[in-house]
Amino acid sequence: MPSLGLGTWQNTDPEECANAVATALETGYRHVDTAQAYDNEASVGEGLARADVPREDVFLATKVWIDQLAHDDVLASTEESLDELGVDYVDLLYIHWPAGEYDPADTLTAFDDLYDEGLIERIGISNFEPGQVTEAVETADAPIFANQIECHPLLPQETLRAHCADHDVEVVAYSPLARGEVFDVPEIQQVAEKHGVSEAQVSLAWLREKGVTAIPKATSEAHVRDNWASRTLELDAEDVATIDGIDRRERQVDPGFAPW
């Protein structure tokens, strides 16, 4: 899984979304993330088709929404997602939240079926807390590959990241820029000024230092390219310590059905 991907949450304008995906792929990205609930899988698929990049070179992920997590609904909705995306398989399919129709045995049996049929390459979970991670790992026949969670310098998720590492589950960070909040954090501004880069690049490089894959949303070419440039930013130990020392903690995504 490439350690930097393109997020597409709230990118619902069909042309803008397709263009962002194509631009990202032509810039060098090889990881694209979407979801049934984003209502843009067809646009993401159009972007994939426009880019001069072979399908097999792209790590494509989508997510099953909470009202589609009963066994048969998982199967049917995933087939619809593949049709919308215009692909034969996805590299990673997530359970979007452990909520709604989620039942560990019933839901994960369906994911195992999709895995066995070759329609998905990997099983993912999203927004799972430590106990739910353990339960999913113990329930699924196929490995649980990743847990996608909100993670950024204002919500480092140390305990959950350590728990995932103990269970060989990768961590993928959504909202890695805290929905823009990182731009106003003095410690991040200080590191950004030191290196002559954006606060976004600092936050993404910090996540990379923590072994976390980030999927920042970007629609403009400028933001797509700026985020991509974070791959060459090397933070030193002092930089990491400065960011680790931020005493502000804020969760940006907190729906009523969240498990915390």
Catalytic (active-site) positions: 38
Tokens of 88: 């034969």
Rounded distance between C-alpha atoms, residue 70 and residue 110, angstroms: 8
Query: What is the 3-state composition of the chain as percent helix, strand, coil, each rounded to the nearest 5?
Result: 50, 15, 35
Total Cβ atoms within 10 A of residue 186:
10
Rounded distance between C-alpha atoms, residue 3 and residue 10, angstroms: 22
Phi/psi for 102 (5° steps) reads -65, 125
Amino acid 28 reads: G
- Whether residue 119 contacts residue 78, with contact meaning beta carbons closer than 8 Å, is answered with yes
Tokens of 187: 């410690």
Q: DSSP 3-state assignment of 238? A: helix
- Of 76, 88, 80, 92, the C-alpha closest to 34 is 92
Tokens of 58: 């792209």
Rounded distance between C-alpha atoms, residue 222 and residue 37, angstroms: 26
- Of 149, 153, 159, the C-alpha closest to 178 is 153
- Whether residue 218 contacts residue 24, with contact meaning beta carbons closer than 8 Å, is answered with yes
Rounded distance between C-alpha atoms, residue 116 and residue 56, angstroms: 19
